[in-house]
Amino acid sequence: MEEAFQTWRELLGWVIRDSQKRQHLAEAIGVNPVTLTRWAVNKSNPRPDALRSLVAALPQYHEQLSRLIAEEYPYILTENLAESEGAMEVVPSSFYAQILNIHTTNPPVLRASSICLAILQQMLKQLDPQEEGIAIFIAVCVPPAQQGRKVRSLRKSWGRGNMSWHGQLEHWSQFFGAESQTGCSAVSGRPIVVMSHGEREQLFPAHLHPKLGSSVTWPILLSDSIAGCLCIISERPNCFSQSQLDVIQSYADLCALAFEPDEFYNLRQLELGIMPSYRAQQVYVASFQQHVQRRMLQAAQRGQFITRPQAELFVWQELEERLLQLSLEIGKQIPEGEIFPSNAWFGPDEKQNGAL
């Protein structure tokens, strides 16, 4: 049997020819079954840690598989790989230079979006080079409508992703409150890592999704003040290694350069409310642009001038207040003891079975 295979990809293709075996192997090494097929037909290349997991999951082919892998990747299974792979799990020095250049050359009105989108794109490329399915977004603290009031929610502002079920991440908006992983991470000022669906069911029962495996929320801090959270989600369970969590922290630190000093709020200023489900929010968010235009027209009719960003902020604050009130109204209708139906927080096009 050994002489029949010329490459490790041929051997893998023979092993996964049975769909049930393919599914079991995919679960064992933490990838999608489709990913195994792409490896076998040379449509994509696995990460070093994935190749090591593949060898470990097929002990009956250990010697043959290791030899064939070594022909394509001579050093992939050696102990020296740990050092070379570790060097990849850092923010490239050239990217630090890029962000500093954006920070110093862009006008304030463009600085935040330019920095955040550059960071999200770089993270997507670095954390998921094989496009196995992750999404990354930044949720920012919604400024209180009146001075002296508390921060009541965060709102997704920028996002990038390659999940097949995620829809167009950059085009949807959503508020997050105390019921969410994002909100809990913001209030505590600490990162929260969830590695499985079962763990999520225990920690955030109002935010379940059948296709979601792992998620990380990392606060964007400046000393003891917060501007928002960097959020990463994956379809795969146990997706994030410690080296990846370290690099996520570095990117969260870089995100702080995107915000002005008055966009950071002391952690004691956060008093998050409960937000309704994504779908309940969309009834109101869908008309956001019309409300912005109406606000600017009304100001012009009164002889006042407001910029579009100012009008947008006013409307977001109005929507936040309405949604917080809606949650209270919904909560009064739920029998005591039932879980608040806040539903999934990750995509506009998902039809979660019985939950979204």
Q: How far is CA 264 from the centre of its chain?
A: 21
Residue 11 has pLDDT above 60, yes or no: yes
Q: Domain end: 86, 101, 121, which one?
A: 86
Same domain, 102 and 164: yes
Q: Give the count of domains, the chain.
A: 2
User: Which stretch of 120-124, 255-259, 284-288 has the lowest confidence by average pLDDT?
Assistant: 284-288
Q: How many CB atoms lie within 10 A of CB 143?
A: 16
| Average pLDDT of span 60-75 | 82
| Average pLDDT of span 68-75 | 79
- Read off the tokens for 346: 């990750």
- Residue 315: what are its φ and ψ, rounded to 5°? -70, -40
Cβ 151 vs Cβ 135: under 8 Å: no
Same domain, 257 and 166: yes
Same domain, 141 and 213: yes
Cβ partners under 8 Å of residue 167, min gap 6: 347, 348, 349, 350
User: Which stretch of 8-22, 113-127, 342-356 has the lowest confidence by average pLDDT?
Assistant: 342-356
Higher pLDDT, 56 or 250: 250
* Widest pairwise Cα distance in the chain: 84
Three-state SS sequence of the chain: CHHHCCCHHHHHHHHCCCHHHHHHHHHHHCCCHHHHHHHHCCCCCCCHHHHHHHHHHCHHHHHHHHHHHHHHCCCCCCCCHHHHHHHHCCCCHHHHHHHHHHHHHCCHHHHHHHHHHHHHHHHHHHHCCCCCCEEEEEEEECCCCCCCCCECCEEEEEEEECCCCCCCHHHCCCEECCCCHHHHHHHHCCCEEECCHHHHHHHCCCCCCCCCCEEEEEEEEECCEEEEEEEEEECCCCCCCHHHHHHHHHHHHHHHHHCCHHHCEEHHHECCCCCCCHHHHHHHHCCHHHHHHHHHHHHHHCCCCCCHHHHHHHHHHHHHHHHHHHHHHHHHCCCCCCCCCCCCCCCCCCCCCCCC
Please indicate, yes or no, if residue 310 is contained in any of the structural domains: no
| Average pLDDT of span 158-182 | 80
Please indicate, yes or no, if residue 219 is contained in any of the structural domains: yes
Residue 95 has pLDDT above 80, yes or no: yes
**CATH at residue 14:** 1.10.260
Please indicate, yes or no, if residue 138 is contained in any of the structural domains: yes
Please indicate, yes or no, if residue 291 is contained in any of the structural domains: no
Same domain, 67 and 114: no
Same domain, 233 and 126: yes
Per-residue pLDDT tens digits for 216-233: 999 999 999 999 999 999
Q: Domain end: 211, 242, 269, which one?
A: 269
Cβ 308 vs Cβ 219: under 8 Å: no
Burial class for 332, CB neighbours closer than 10 Å (0-12, 13-18, 19+): exposed
Query: d(Cα 95, Cα 309) in Å, to the nearest integer?
Result: 28
Same domain, 92 and 67: no
Same domain, 96 and 67: no
**CATH at residue 199:** 3.30.450.40
Please indicate, yes or no, if residue 287 is contained in any of the structural domains: no
What amino acid is encoded at 184 in this protein?
C
Residue 75 has pLDDT above 80, yes or no: no
Same domain, 43 and 116: no
Q: Domain end: 86, 112, 131, which one?
A: 86
Same domain, 58 and 173: no
Please indicate, yes or no, if residue 100 is contained in any of the structural domains: yes
- Residue 191: what are its φ and ψ, rounded to 5°? -70, 150
Torsion of CA 116, 245, 234, 28, to 10 degrees: 160
- Residue 46: what are its φ and ψ, rounded to 5°? -75, 155
Domain range for residue 22? 2-86
Burial 218-240 (b: 16+ CB within 10 A, else e): bbbbeeebbbbbbbbbbbbbebb
Per-residue pLDDT tens digits for 175-215: 999 989 999 999 999 999 998 767 777 777 665 565 677 89
Please indicate, yes or no, if residue 27 is contained in any of the structural domains: yes
Higher pLDDT, 81 or 186: 186
Same domain, 98 and 178: yes
Same domain, 95 and 62: no
Same domain, 54 and 120: no
Cβ 177 vs Cβ 345: under 8 Å: no
Please indicate, yes or no, if residue 12 is contained in any of the structural domains: yes
pTM: 0.70
Higher pLDDT, 145 or 338: 145
Higher pLDDT, 337 or 98: 98
Per-residue pLDDT tens digits for 285-336: 888 999 999 999 999 999 998 999 999 999 999 999 999 999 888 765 544 3
Query: d(Cα 186, Cα 165) in Å, to the nearest integer?
Result: 26
